[in-house]
Structure formats: structure tokens, C-alpha cells
């Protein structure tokens, strides 16, 4: 898994967009006419101007050079795009965590579109990498399409990479393929790790672990009852506030390669603080079903920001206990929820559901024994109002806040 790409030094604060070959060209598919006839878009990024606009939208005007689209190297900016899809700018690199957009619909004016982004903007963003958390369509529907049209490198387990090739051929013809790096071999057991991978260096360091997909278990009798239903807190005005319509790209769908095989990623910015963020897109009840993850996650390198799914099959029985256990074992300083909009889709974004769910997480952390002083700052995201709001998740990697204690270090990235 050696990187064949060499990165040249750039001026402080910016990394040259030319270094990642942003010059746009039309992508020629093996069967362009057939793909277009099926409603599958085939072209690359619209233009350099479109890429600058997409990056400014997702990362903020102050973080993107308006002349050439370079992103600041001295900030990490993370923008929630729906479900578990995030756009990230870190140390000059632009990449996606998953690639799926909830409610990417064609809405007839004067109705408002619920999600302020869509497939074409993901392409115009010109990501260099795309990371697959697991293979279900609500995480990967757009991955192969974006990768094929931009040349982005996909990362996932071997099973995910196999699925991406199927998706490329399905959409673009029998000779089509996408670039995909398998960070874990096929069939590896839960708790398998791949540490300090070279693929993102020198910009970032990468660690990977196979963990557990969400599942339902009986009520945990060691904690007070804390179940939460997906419709709790819904607002009946939902459909009045946001229009509905047909899917913009109904034929751009994933085959589900890799299925529920789930990966947790950690990205670290090299430097004196070793600022890092870990990401998982499905929350599994590993207390019961994969206890080997407990020591594995407790040994995970220090994580400053944890972005984690909070919604899964276990919510009605055990609330957000599973997410709280991830927090207990990884010990982040900041926690950011994800996947809660998919579970509550069209069910109360304008009401009090966000606060309802946040309180459940806070209660869950206390119930499993995390002292108040050790609980992370929770930056709750409310759909749809916090979609594409980069100011909510902008971090300075040099901040003293990210200093590591001797009890938990991040030694592998300097």
C-alpha cells in the first residue's frame, strides 16, 4: 500500500490545487450514451469556478482561496452533508467520508430543497480521496460515481473495493473501473487494525480498525431504561416546511459490496499536537456482540474529535448506550453525532427531536459510568439546519486544547 504520489511543499496556509491536477476534463465513459440514457451523469467537475464555489460552500469563504480554490493547511474543516457523509479539508487535502446525500430530490419551486447539496456538487468539490465506512447504500450510493468522474481514490476493506468495481461497471459500462485501495484484507475478524498506513502521507497519518455494525440486543439491565423511538420529538410541520420530489439520480445506486462490514478511521495531522479525528458510520452493540473491541478501542491512539453514528437498531431498546460506549472507550475531547437524520428522516427536523436525542446521549454517558468531568463536549448537529455549516466543525490543529496526556498518546504521526 505504497503511495505513488509525491506532495511538494506549499506556502504556509495553502496547498496548491494544481498539485492535485484540478484541471477539468470531460470524463469519457465506455458507454457514455447508455449511461446518460439511464439517467447517470458522466461528466467531470463542471469547471474550476464550480470547484471553487463548491469548496467555498462546504469549507467557508475564509478557508478557500477565491482565485484558485486552494484550501488552508492550518485548519481542519469538516462539513456535514447528511447521514454520515462529511466533506473534509485537512492539511490542504480535500476528501469525503462516505458519499450519499439524503433527499437529493428534484423539488418544484417555490418549495425549498431540504438538503443544500447534491451529487454534482460532490463532483465539483473534486475530492482526492473517499473513505467507505460500510457498504450499505445510504453510505455508498454516490461513491463510485464521484470517484469515476473525478479520479478520486476510494479507501475501504477489500470487500468494499470489489463492490465499487461492480458499481463502476454497472453505471459506466463493462470496461469501467475506479481506483480503490484496500486498507484491510478480505475476511479479517472484528478488531483487526492497520496502523500508520503510508497512503495519505505526508499530509495525514491513517489508522483503520474493523468494528461492529449496528444491531439490536435485549435491554441492558445494568442501566436504567433509556430506549428512544425514531419518531420521538417529531414535528408535524415537516412536510409543510420542506418539499418532496423524485430522486435526482435514481439510477446512481450502490450494489452494497462489503455490506455491514464496518471500518473506523483515524486521521492525524502531523505536528506537535498530533490533532486527530476518528470516524465511524455505524454504531454496534459490541458490549454483547464483540467484546474484543473493548480493549482494542481503549488502546486506540488519542483522539481529539470523534464523529460517530448515534442511531441504529438498538435505539428502541437501549437508546444511545452504544454510542456512549464508543465515547467511553475512545475518550474524545469533542463528540459529533451522525446518522441521526437518516433514522429521523422527514420526522421532526424542525421540532425538538435534536434536543430529545442529545439528552438521551448525555443520559446514556452518565448511565454507563462516564464521570461528568470526563464527558466530551458534544457538538450536536440538527438536520436540516446544520447541513453544510462548516463553522460548526472548524478546528485549529495547533491549539493547546489538543495537547496529549501521558495516559493516552498519539505517537505514530510526527
In a domain, 6, yes or no: no
User: How far, in Å, CA of 403 to CA of 408, rounded?
Assistant: 10
Q: Is residue 17 part of a domain?
A: no
Can you give the pLDDT at residue 29? 42
Residue 223: CB partners within 8 Å, gap ≥ 6? Answer: 318, 321, 364, 367, 368
> Distance between CA atoms of 51 and 132, rounded to whole angstroms?
23
Give the pLDDT score at 28. Answer: 42
Show the cell assigned to 264: 473506523
183-242 per-position pLDDT tens digit: 999 999 999 999 999 999 999 999 999 999 999 999 999 999 999 877 666 666 777 778
- Provide the pairing of β-strand 334-338 with 305-309: parallel
How many angstroms separate the CA atoms of 392 and 383, rounded?
13
Q: How far is CA 316 from the centre of its chain?
A: 24
Evaluate whether residue 406 is within a structural domain.
no
Residues (pLDDT < 50) of the chain are 1-29, 348-351
Instruction: Give me the domain span that covers residue 102.
Output: 22-398
Instruction: Tell me the CATH number at 388.
Output: 3.60.15.10
Tell me whether residue 10 is in a domain.
Answer: no
pTM: 0.91
Burial of 283 (0-12, 13-18, 19+ CB in 10 A): buried
Q: Pick the closest to residue 190 from 285, 257, 256, 99 (CA basis).
A: 285
- Measured CA to CA, the distance from residue 292 to residue 296 in angstroms comes to 7
Position 343 scores a pLDDT of 64
Does residue 145 fall inside a structural domain?
yes
Grid cell in block for residue 55: 469548496
3-class secondary-structure state, position 250: coil
Within a domain: residue 15?
A: no
Q: What is the dihedral of CA 353, 357, 363, 366, to 10 degrees?
A: -150
d(CA 264, CA 214): 13
Q: Is residue 40 part of a domain?
A: yes
80, three cell numbers: 456535514
Q: What are phi and psi of 56, to 5 degrees?
A: -65, -35
Residue 196, C-beta contacts closer than 8 angstroms, at least 6 positions apart: 205, 206, 207, 412, 413
- Dig out the grid coordinates for 16 from the structure: 496548491
Residue 95 has what pLDDT?
99
Write down the pLDDT at residue 302: 96
Q: Is 404 contained in some domain?
A: no
**How far is 60 from 255, CA to CA, in rounded Å?**
34
Contact 207, 68 (CB under 8 A): no
CA 306, 116, 65, 27: dihedral to nearest 10 degrees? Answer: 100
Total domains present in the chain: 1
Q: In the Cβ-directed half-sphere of 102, how many Cα atoms lie within 13 Å?
A: 23
Amino acid at each position: 500500500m505504497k503511495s505513488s504520489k509525491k506532495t511538494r511543499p506549499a506556502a504556509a496556509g495553502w496547498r496548491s490545487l494544481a498539485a492535485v491536477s484540478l484541471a477539468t476534463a470531460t470524463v469519457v465513459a465506455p458507454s457514455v450514451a447508455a449511461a446518460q440514457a439511464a439517467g447517470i451523469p458522466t461528466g467531470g467537475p463542471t469547471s474550476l469556478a464550480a470547484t471553487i464555489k463548491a469548496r467555498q460552500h462546504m469549507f467557508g469563504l475564509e478557508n478557500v482561496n477565491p482565485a484558485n480554490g486552494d484550501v488552508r493547511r492550518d485548519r481542519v474543516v469538516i462539513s456535514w452533508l447528511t447521514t454520515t457523509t462529511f466533506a473534509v479539508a485537512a492539511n490542504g487535502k480535500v476528501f469525503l467520508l462516505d458519499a450519499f446525500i439524503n433527499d437529493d430530490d428534484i423539488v418544484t419551486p417555490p418549495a425549498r430543497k431540504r438538503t443544500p447539496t447534491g451529487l454534482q456538487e460532490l463532483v465539483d468539490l473534486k475530492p482526492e480521496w473517499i473513505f467507505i465506512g460500510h457498504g450499505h447504500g445510504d453510505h455508498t450510493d454516490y461513491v463510485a460515481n464521484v470517484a469515476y468522474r473525478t479520479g478520486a481514490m476510494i479507501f475501504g476493506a477489500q470487500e468494499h473495493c470489489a463492490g465499487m468495481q461492480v458499481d463502476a461497471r454497472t453505471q459506466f459500462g463493462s470496461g469501467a473501473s475506479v481506483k480503490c485501495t484496500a486498507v484491510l484484507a478480505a475476511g479479517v475478524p472484528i478488531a483487526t487494525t492497520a496502523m500508520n498506513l503510508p497512503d495519505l502521507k505526508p499530509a495525514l497519518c491513517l489508522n483503520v480498525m474493523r468494528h461492529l455494525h449496528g444491531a439490536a440486543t435485549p435491554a441492558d439491565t445494568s442501566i436504567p431504561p433509556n430506549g428512544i423511538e425514531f419518531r420521538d420529538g417529531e414535528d408535524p410541520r415537516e412536510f409543510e416546511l420542506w418539499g418532496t420530489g423524485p430522486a435526482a439520480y435514481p439510477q446512481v445506486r450502490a450494489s452494497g459490496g462489503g455490506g455491514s462490514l464496518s471500518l473506523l478511521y483515524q486521521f492525524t495531522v502531523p505536528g506537535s499536537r498530533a490533532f486527530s479525528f476518528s470516524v465511524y458510520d455505524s454504531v454496534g452493540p459490541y458490549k454483547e456482540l464483540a467484546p474484543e473491541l473493548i480493549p482494542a478501542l481503549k488502546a486506540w491512539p488519542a483522539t481529539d474529535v470523534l464523529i460517530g453514528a448515534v442511531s441504529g437498531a438498538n435505539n428502541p431498546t437501549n437508546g444511545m448506550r452504544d454510542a456512549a460506549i464508543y465515547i467511553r472507550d475512545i475518550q474524545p475531547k469533542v463528540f459529533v453525532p451522525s446518522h441521526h437524520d437518516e433514522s429521523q428522516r422527514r420526522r421532526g427536523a424542525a421540532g425538538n427531536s435534536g434536543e430529545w436525542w442529545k439528552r438521551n446521549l448525555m443520559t446514556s454517558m452518565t448511565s454507563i459510568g462516564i464521570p461528568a468531568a470526563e464527558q466530551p463536549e458534544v457538538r450536536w448537529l440538527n438536520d436540516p439546519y446544520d447541513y453544510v455549516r462548516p463553522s460548526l466543525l472548524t478546528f485549529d490543529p495547533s491549539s493547546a486544547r489538543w495537547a496529549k496526556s501521558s495516559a493516552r498518546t498519539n505517537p505514530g504521526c510526527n
